[in-house]
Amino acid sequence: MAYSKELLEHYENPRNVGALDKTDASVGTGLVGAPACGDVMKLQIRVGKDGLIEDAKFKTFGCGSAIASSSLATEWIKGKSIDEAETIKNTQIAQHLSLPPVKIHCSVLAEDAIKAAIRDYREKNGVAPKKAEAAE
């Protein structure tokens, strides 16, 4: 598969690989995907007292597109508030990495991972979202 320069850059030099202590109250952990599908992403955020994401880490089991999408996601959410981070759309990730059509679902999973991490943080800290969430 012919991948874009941006994608290859994230694959060769992924940003923010690692783990945060998931028992820490300021850490939100999102785990999405399934091994049977060949795609699993774990994305963690540490949220500061000011409500901004001060650190983000990821680990991914998946193809080059999946690794790049999750790496990019952690780069983008650092420094944002959790409400802002929640607005990141998979289409933005896909466009930045020039994902081929058959790999778009990797960017969807990355968007899900961000939301899952935020949801976990909110549940742990009893923080309600600014807007009412659609499905709860």
Would you count residue 40 as binding another protein (CB under 8 A)?
Answer: yes
In whole angstroms, give the CA distance from residue 44 to residue 33.
15
Beta carbon nearer to another protein, 1 or 128: 1
Beta carbon nearer to another protein, 8 or 52: 8
One-letter amino acid identity for 44? Q
Say if CB 124 and CB 48 are below 8 A apart: no
Closest to 113 in 3D by CA, of 34, 35, 31: 31
Active-site residue, selected from the candidate residues 24, 37, 79, 129: 37
Would you count residue 52 as binding another protein (CB under 8 A)?
Answer: no
Candidate list 6, 9, 26, 31; residue touching another protein; CB under 8 A: 31
